């Protein structure tokens, strides 16, 4: 079964493939996929907008996520505007600058990931995941992407974690765990595979 990944973010594509392929789903990226206006007011609404647009454009089931960093000290910003919070390459630095001098006990933050799959029939499967931590005092680690290197749990940033451990801890990992259960149930109900088979 082939699903389109409704993103142009190569980091997200890698994570989508890693999480979907064990389910027997071929995850593909379409280079010239258009980008709809993300007019939603929540992560879930924006994930649906992106997945529905990709499904209409390709005629294939499409999966999208909308995710972002919510910083307590910044009243939940950047939130749904995480990808547009500052100039590319300066987003992490902008968060660190806004929190300069703020003590660790006031640097709480969480990541949110809303995942949505839209099928050509109009059906949709969606789930949301969160993970909580703090904003580090500096950017650390070369793994991951986006804000990973400034978000930390237990003194370690997501940028310092190997991929498997990040998946186990991350908002997208939590969202996909819930999404996988819902998607398996949906596909089984549609007769696409036997949910009782050996994985």
Residues annotated as catalytic are 66
Q: Rounded to whole angstroms, what are the CA distances from 81 to 12, 53, 86, 168?
A: 17, 19, 9, 25
Question: Are 68 and 81 within 8 A, CB to CB?
Answer: yes
User: Using CA atoms, how far apart are residues 185 and 74, in angstroms rounded to an integer?
Assistant: 39
User: Using CA atoms, how far apart are residues 133 and 150, in angstroms rounded to an integer?
Assistant: 10
Helix or strand (DSSP H, E) at 18: helix 10-20
């Amino acid at each position: 079964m082939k699903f389109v990944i409704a993103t142009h973010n190569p980091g997200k594509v890698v994570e989508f493939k890693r999480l979907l392929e064990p389910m027997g789903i071929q995850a593909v990226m379409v280079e010239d996929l258009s980008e709809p206006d993300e007019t939603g007011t929540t992560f879930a609404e924006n994930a649906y907008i992106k997945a529905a647009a990709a499904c209409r454009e390709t005629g294939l089931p499409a999966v999208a996520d909308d995710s972002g960093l919510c910083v307590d000290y910044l009243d939940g910003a950047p939130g749904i505007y995480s990808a547009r919070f500052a100039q590319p390459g300066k987003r992490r630095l902008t968060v660190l600058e806004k929190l300069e001098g703020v003590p660790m006990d006031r640097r709480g933050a969480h990541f949110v990931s809303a995942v949505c799959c839209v099928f050509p029939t109009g059906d949709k499967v969606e789930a949301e995941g969160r993970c909580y931590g703090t904003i580090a005092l500096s950017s650390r680690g070369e793994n991951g992407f986006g804000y990973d290197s400034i978000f930390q749990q237990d003194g370690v940033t997501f940028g310092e974690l190997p991929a498997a451990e990040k998946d186990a801890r991350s908002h997208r990992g939590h969202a996909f765990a819930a999404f996988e259960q819902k998607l398996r149930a949906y596909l089984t109900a549609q007769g696409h595979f036997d949910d009782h088979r050996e994985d």
